[in-house]
Amino acid sequence: MTTRSQTRREILKVTAALTATASVGAVIRHAAAQGGAAQSRQIDAVLRRATEAKEVPGVVALAANDKGVIYEGAFGTRDLAKGPAMTLDTSSGSPR
């Protein structure tokens, strides 16, 4: 079995994606805790910016508490090369 070393560029891209994901997660937690339409728009804006800046190709987010779903949104594409849009039912598996 041959192993392949990651290039510095690949490592930086993964690090940037993880950092963007962590930042988005923090905004979602903060806004969802406050509730309301204004906070949902704030979450939407952060997720949309992340996909438009190509920090992540696509994201589906859901926040819930003991009372039920308090936020859900989908932005970006499932596959950058082919471009089908993310939807609320997009899974983490390969696009079909």
Collapse the DSSP code of 74 into the 3-class scheme (helix H, G, I; strand E, B; otherwise coil) and give the result.
strand
pLDDT tens figures, 51-73: 888 878 888 888 887 888 888 88
pTM above 0.85, yes or no: no
Q: Rounded to whole angstroms, how far apart are CA atoms 67 and 73? A: 18
Q: What pLDDT does residue 70 have?
A: 81
What is the per-residue pLDDT across 6-50, written as a single tens digit (0 to 9) for each?
Answer: 787 777 777 777 776 666 666 666 666 666 777 788 888 988 888
pLDDT at 95 over 50: no
H helices within 35-84, ranges in order?
A: 37-52
Q: Which residue has the higher pLDDT, 54 or 81?
A: 54
H or E stretch at 71: strand 68-76
Closest by CA to 77, choosing from 92, 57, 60, 56, is 57
